[in-house]
Chain A
Amino acid sequence: MSKFEALTGNAAVATAMRQINPDVVAAYPITPQTSTVQTFADFVADGLVDTEFVCVESEHSAMSACVGASAAGARVMTATAANGLALMWEILYIAASNRCPIVMSLVNRALSAPINIHCDHSDVMGIRDSGWLILFSENGQEAYDNLIQAVRIAEHPDVLLPVAICQDGFITSHALERVEIYDDADVRAFVGEYKPQWPLLDLEHPKTYGPLDFYDYYYEHKRQQVEAMEHAQRVILEVAEEFNRKFNRNYGLFEPYRLEDAEVAVIVANSTAGTARVVVDRLRDEGLKVGLLKPRVFRPFPAEELADALSHLKAVAVMDRSISFGAMDNAGPLFLELAAALALHGVQVPMADYVYGLGGRDILPHEIERVYRDALKVAETGRVERRVTYLSVRE
């Protein structure tokens, strides 16, 4: 039987980790992720898990130990945020390239400088080409659900790639919410036992991991990563389907809200989608045809499916919680990728980007309402007055 508990997003993640019972967790404290590893350390100290918890001296060593443990044949998890993720960066690529199915809880926080401990998505956007699968979570429940699914996705023989599960620093990582926690046995049955295919600790069959790989094979190995990414979308959907059936949820590649008959839509990930949903309802009460699309899977990017889902709209507003400095119009990465997806799939819809919430700047319903009203105007005129707007910033 599942039960409902009042948990912070981090506590929900730690609970999922307890239920998954990984062989090794290697992690380093960083705000706002710290309470995850603290809670997990309690589980270790109280003998509630079999995990070997490696309290490393840096995030670089956290990811290095994760790669070692994963190559050894262990089920491995970690958690980090912002600068910690940045310090891991070198080894994130190695984890993906060595096909280590490591699962990470990534609590999104602004990258330095200036130093700032609050939420934005600059950290995760820095690893978008690293070969990790990346999933967003609106709240603690989704972070919990996604983490459980991530184990199955990462370890699928057609994928074998690491997965990062994102949630918003403080906004959901530290907010108490009602979270449905499934029965331990059900979660353990769902994730199953990890059967590594090429464990380093299979002493009878010695393996060499991480050889020098020049122009004669490196490229083929990169091509295989592409193939794994291509498989990942199908696997994510298969795992979601099984999860939805078992735990009565409704996960897919993204979540549309009142989108079907909408004329304009906002695309926004993580916690702000929750605020936007309220705004949609309010505007719908006024008779305005507005909808919402909340991305769940960011890597692999479901371009075609997104284009399909948005093809009927008269205007699209993307909300980005980070900036791709120096990219076209200094827009956000979500906008850039979505604009390319729509254009290449023949969807002609006026688009604008709204950068918001950097460094934890609050995003309020009236600001999102303004985005919708802008979009409604664009739908009417067919003209985008301003390609990129930086919301609520002192200019």
Chain B
Amino acid sequence: MPTKLIPKELAKRPERLAPGHRLCAGCGASIIVRQILAAIDEPVVMSCATGCLEVATTIYPYTAWRMPWIHNAFENSASTMAGIEAAYRSMVRQGKIPEQNVKFLAFGGDGGTYDIGIQALSGAVERGHQFLYVCYDNGAYMNTGIQRSSATPFGAHTTTSPAGKVIPGKQQFRKDLTAIMAAHGIPYVAQAAPSQWRDLMQKTRKAVNCGGPAFMNVLSSCNRGWRHGTDETIEITQLAVDTCYWPLYEVENGEWRLTYKPKEKRPVEEWLKRQGRFRHLFRPENRHLIDELQAEVDRRWERLLRLCGEA
């Protein structure tokens, strides 16, 4: 029987990410990693792209990982895991190692996934490797000091899309990576957020048991880049969900399904105003940018509702 997804039971499970790592207080990544690992009862082998999660958990000669873990480079978490999974299948088939129902988990941030790693990810899922790729999407290159990525929200200030006198922050809408991954036709794709931990954990279980490649895009607050208090992570993450900037859904064997529908869809402004990276949008002359972002959020939400048969 799998461990019940209730805090009392989950708390009994040994933590595979040890305390003492050096991620910031309030970082979304470690919360997501712990929720995902807690959802998996089986042994896990994990690869990790270069980024905060990697540098903050493995400063030689220390490691926070009580499980097999590898970092190769920035853009190749997926292809590294493809090699590991292929090695496992080969050696199990030859009787060189025992079959142990290992779950293969690849992690990358949005830079390592939406941008520099998208080719390796696309290739690995197309080939059908049995692994779950998790993108912890904090919407910028946070590890190198908050540079824009293709996941950065429209209008956000980053150090390479600064809110200047002429250009008011990032000029493009976020790439819809979850939809791109769904278009690969793999068995399981989901979008999740750590503010809805049970939803995230249920999705994790489906993903690692789907019998093929799976992808999860998980919203991960970075209070350094988003500019909010370290104690506001979960609250602000949930606002992204309730404003439908970050809807929670899954695509299981091609079937789109909303896993959470806010009772009342809140204006995106409510999410924006809690974060310093959007502060400039609230100047009167930039009001239209909030309207533009709202229109895009609405457009994507309507599309998602149609895909999920809810429209």
Contact = CB atoms under 8 A, between A and B. Distances in A.
Contacts of B66: 206
Interface string B71-104: 1110110011111101111110110110010100
* From B65, B70, B83, B97, residue with most partner A Cβ within 10 Å: B83
B221 to A, nearest CB: 23
Given A61-B82, A211-B71, A52 B87 contact: yes
Contact of A201 (B47, B69, B80, B97): B97
B59 to A, nearest CB: 5
B69 A64 contact: no
A54 B82 contact: yes
Contacts of B71: 209-211
Contact of B84 (A71, A211, A214): A71
B73 A91 contact: yes
Contacts of B81: 68
Given A23-B96, A65-B82, A206 B69 contact: yes
B120 interface: yes
A64 B80 contact: yes
B87 A74 contact: yes
A54 B76 contact: no
A18 interface: no
A362 interface: no
B113 to A, nearest CB: 14
Nearest to A220: B60
A73 B54 CA distance: 22
A212 B60 contact: yes
A208 B83 contact: no
A86 to B, nearest CB: 16
B122 A73 contact: no
Contacts of B67: 206
Given A203-B43, A203-B100, A208 B58 contact: yes
A210 B88 CA distance: 19
A69 interface: yes
B172 interface: no
Contacts of B126: 57
B63 interface: yes
A210 B70 contact: yes
Given A72-B88, A200-B68, A206-B68, A211 B58 contact: yes
Interface in B118-137: 119-120, 122-124, 126-127
A130 to B, nearest CB: 14
A61 B119 contact: yes
A67 B120 contact: no
Contacts of B72: 64, 67-68, 91, 94, 209-210
B83 A60 contact: no
A23 B94 contact: yes
Contacts of A54: 82-83, 86, 127
Contacts of B59: 211-212, 214
B2 interface: no
A233 interface: no
Nearest to A74: B87
A24 B87 contact: yes
A71 B102 CA distance: 16
A51 interface: yes
Contacts of A52: 86-87, 89-90, 93
A79 to B, nearest CB: 15
A69 B58 contact: no
Interface in B237-294: none
A201 B87 contact: yes
Contact of A68 (B47, B63, B75, B123): B47
B304 interface: no
Contacts of A90: 73
Interface in A175-207: 200-203, 206-207
Given A71-B70, A209-B70, A217-B61, A64 B91 contact: no
A339 interface: no
A148 interface: no
Nearest to A218: B60
A64 B79 contact: yes
A60 B93 CA distance: 27
B305 interface: no
Contacts of A64: 72-73, 76, 79-80, 82-83, 120
Nearest to A98: B72
* From A24, A60, A91, residue with most partner B Cβ within 10 Å: A24
Interface string B15-55: 00000000000000000000000000001010100000011
Nearest to A208: B63
Nearest to B98: A203
Nearest to B97: A201
Contacts of A207: 68-69
A312 B89 CA distance: 56
11 contacts: A26-B86, A52-B90, A58-B119, A65-B79, A68-B87, A91-B76, A200-B68, A201-B102, A206-B65, A206-B69, A210-B71
